[in-house]
């Protein structure tokens, strides 16, 4: 059950408990595993280490003041999940609330995992990792971190690195540079760094962007604003629907245990998602019309969906956001919000001039324009004193990299909930650690096999498959993928749920040393 929102005193308890490193460090602390990040992936990884790898020493390093990752970074009004919590939640902890949850509810849920499993003692907050260097002689990583509260430099050593820091830079969002921005007399804000003092009551607000952030923000602020305009270059797909799952409510009425409800509902959602994804590929025009019909049901039969809600690309080529109870479209239908599809020519003192010649008046401009991709936390990596460029590596199933020993990265799914893969990767890590312990191996790194010598090397993901802006902008920073299934992140949960547990750890793709 979701508990009462975390109080200031309970947050302090989390932080104080976690800050156990000494003021003056005499020598590096050593751990079997070092987890980077205390978000949904890192806390899940910590849980799996305690439940599957008894006796393994580990520490979680987190830059921010508390746990939550994305759900702590983003503080803009109305922030919520765009995946259902039955699949975005952990498989080991039942979700009992509405399927689309607020950031506060998600943090409460993660906090319960921390408290119930005594994970606090493993977490060090306010630790920003500066560098990570691997020594082949010592068979271990040395991690240098800076205490963001004191400026102190601290060092750790670890046998294994588990990268759970996500894929974007938390300190700043992506905002394009438009001509005239310095001339604008109002405020320009990015949702990722939403200011606490922003007063939008009675103001004209332009939100640039049409993704999940805009779909969340607009219905939250529109009632208080004079008007909100969503400005988009091109439309996107949405799935409007009720923020409830009837089968879950029915099972609760029948007195079924929450563990059973969680598993049944997860399986039902995943079954339906698999069918929807498959149909998006095999009958895209039919799916497109179904999605547009869902929007039309809220905007009315006379609202022209073209050009504002009719994308030119097939469904699922970019992420599709769920709009609970159609709140975004209700705001548009009421007249409190509107959509403009155009491109920006320049900012003016009082708003934005569009390439069509129209001018949008604005007191506040919100740039819901995406993330800055980072690769493995913007950490300076090196192997035996040689700088490591991950773009020079080839990924093993999107979680390990050729020539990089004893490290796994959690990179989730685009078409399914992130946490589904975090759980699968955790199982793999725990199985790999047990395998290495059993055989006396001290290091492992993927390597291309002789049969892979002529394999084509390609960008991290096929842009014809999935092409959000943050990936396209940062593709050159990411590792390469190979043409064979084991050398790429397939983005197919429904295949990986069977493939990852059956990875042959004795495959020549894994090079072990003792």
Domain boundaries in the chain? 8-171+373-513, 181-367
CA–CA distance, 465 with 144 (Å, rounded to integer)? 38
Which residues have CB under 8 Å from 356's CB, separation 6+?
342
Which pair of structure tokens corresponds to residue 187? 């405020």
Helices (H), 283-300: 284-299
- Tens-level pLDDT at each residue, the chain (514 residues): 333 333 333 333 344 334 444 444 569 999 999 999 999 999 999 999 999 999 999 999 999 999 999 999 999 999 999 889 999 999 999 999 999 999 999 999 999 999 999 999 999 999 999 999 999 999 999 999 999 999 999 999 999 999 999 888 888 899 999 999 999 999 999 999 999 999 999 999 999 998 889 999 999 999 999 999 999 999 999 999 999 999 999 999 999 999 999 999 999 999 999 999 999 999 999 999 999 999 999 999 889 899 999 998 889 888 888 899 999 999 999 999 999 999 999 999 999 999 999 999 999 999 999 888 888 888 999 999 999 999 999 999 999 999 999 999 999 998 899 999 999 999 999 999 999 999 999 999 999 999 999 999 999 888 777 767 777 787 888 999 999 999 999 889 999 999 999 999 999 999 999 9
**Cα 201–205–209 angle (5° rounding)?**
135
Tell me whether the CATH fold assigned to 8-171+373-513 matches the one assigned to 181-367. Answer: yes
Q: Which pTM value belongs to this model?
A: 0.91
Quick check: helix, strand or coil at residue 156? strand
CA–CA distance, 480 with 460 (Å, rounded to integer)? 5
CATH number of 181-367: 3.50.50.60
CA–CA distance, 60 with 119 (Å, rounded to integer)? 9
Classify burial at 177, counting beta carbons within 10 Å of its beta carbon; exposed 0-12, middle 13-18, buried 19 or more.
exposed
Cis upstream peptide for 307 (omega within 30°): yes
Architecture of the domain defined by 8-171+373-513: 3-Layer(bba) Sandwich (3.50)
Q: Which of 503, 512, 410 lies closest to 46 in space, CA to CA?
A: 410
Classify burial at 231, counting beta carbons within 10 Å of its beta carbon; exposed 0-12, middle 13-18, buried 19 or more.
buried
H helix and E strand count, the chain: 13, 25
């Amino acid at each position: 059950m979701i508990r009462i929102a975390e109080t200031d005193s309970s947050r302090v308890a989390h932080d104080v408990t976690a800050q156990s490193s000494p003021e003056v460090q005499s020598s590096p602390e050593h751990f079997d595993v070092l987890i980077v990040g205390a978000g949904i992936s890192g806390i899940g990884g910590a849980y799996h280490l305690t439940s599957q790898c008894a006796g393994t020493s580990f520490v979680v390093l987190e830059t921010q003041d508390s746990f939550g990752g994305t759900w702590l970074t983003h503080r803009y009004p109305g922030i919520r999940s765009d995946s259902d919590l039955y699949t975005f939640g952990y498989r080991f902890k039942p979700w009992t609330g509405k399927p689309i949850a607020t950031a506060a509810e998600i943090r409460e849920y993660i906090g319960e995992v921390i408290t119930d499993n005594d994970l606090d003692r493993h977490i060090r907050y306010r630790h920003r990792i500066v560098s990570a260097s691997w020594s082949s002689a010592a068979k271990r990583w040395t991690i240098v971190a800076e205490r963001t509260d004191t400026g102190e430099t601290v060092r750790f050593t670890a046998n294994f690195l588990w990268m759970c820091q996500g894929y974007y830079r938390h300190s700043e969002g992506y905002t394009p540079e438009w001509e005239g921005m310095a001339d604008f007399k109002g405020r320009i804000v990015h949702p990722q760094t939403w200011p606490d003092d922003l007063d939008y009551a009675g103001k004209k607000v332009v939100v640039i962007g049409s993704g999940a952030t805009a779909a969340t923000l607009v219905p939250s602020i529109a009632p208080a604003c004079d008007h909100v305009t969503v400005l988009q270059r091109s439309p996107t797909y949405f799935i409007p629907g009720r923020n409830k799952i009837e089968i879950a409510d029915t099972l609760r009425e029948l007195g079924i245990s929450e563990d059973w409800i969680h598993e049944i509902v997860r399986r039902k959602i995943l079954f339906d998602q698999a069918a929807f994804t498959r149909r998006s590929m095999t009958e895209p025009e039919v799916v497109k019309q179904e999605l547009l019909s869902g929007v039309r049901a809220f905007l009315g039969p006379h609202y022209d969906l073209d050009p504002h809600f009719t994308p030119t690309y097939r469904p699922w080529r970019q992420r599709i956001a769920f709009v609970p109870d159609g709140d975004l479209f209700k705001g548009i239908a009421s007249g409190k919000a509107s959509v403009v599809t155009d491109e920006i020519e320049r900012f003016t003192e009082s708003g934005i001039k569009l390439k069509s010649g129209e001018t949008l008046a604005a007191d506040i401009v919100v740039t819901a324009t995406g993330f800055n991709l980072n690769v493995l936390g913007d950490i300076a990596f090196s192997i035996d004193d040689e700088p490591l460029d991950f773009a020079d590596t080839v990924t093993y199933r999107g979680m390990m990299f050729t020539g990089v020993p004893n490290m796994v990265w959690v990179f989730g799914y685009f078409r399914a909930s992130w946490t589904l893969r975090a759980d699968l990767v955790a199982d793999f890590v725990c199985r790999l650690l047990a395998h290495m312990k059993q055989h006396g191996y001290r290091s492992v790194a993927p390597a291309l096999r002789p049969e892979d010598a002529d394999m084509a090397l390609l960008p991290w993901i096929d842009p014809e498959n999935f092409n959000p802006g943050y990936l396209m902008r940062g593709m050159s920073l990411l590792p390469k993928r190979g043409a064979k299934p084991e050398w790429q992140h397939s983005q197919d949960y429904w295949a990986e749920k069977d493939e990852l547990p059956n990875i042959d750890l004795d495959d020549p793709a894994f090079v072990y040393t003792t």
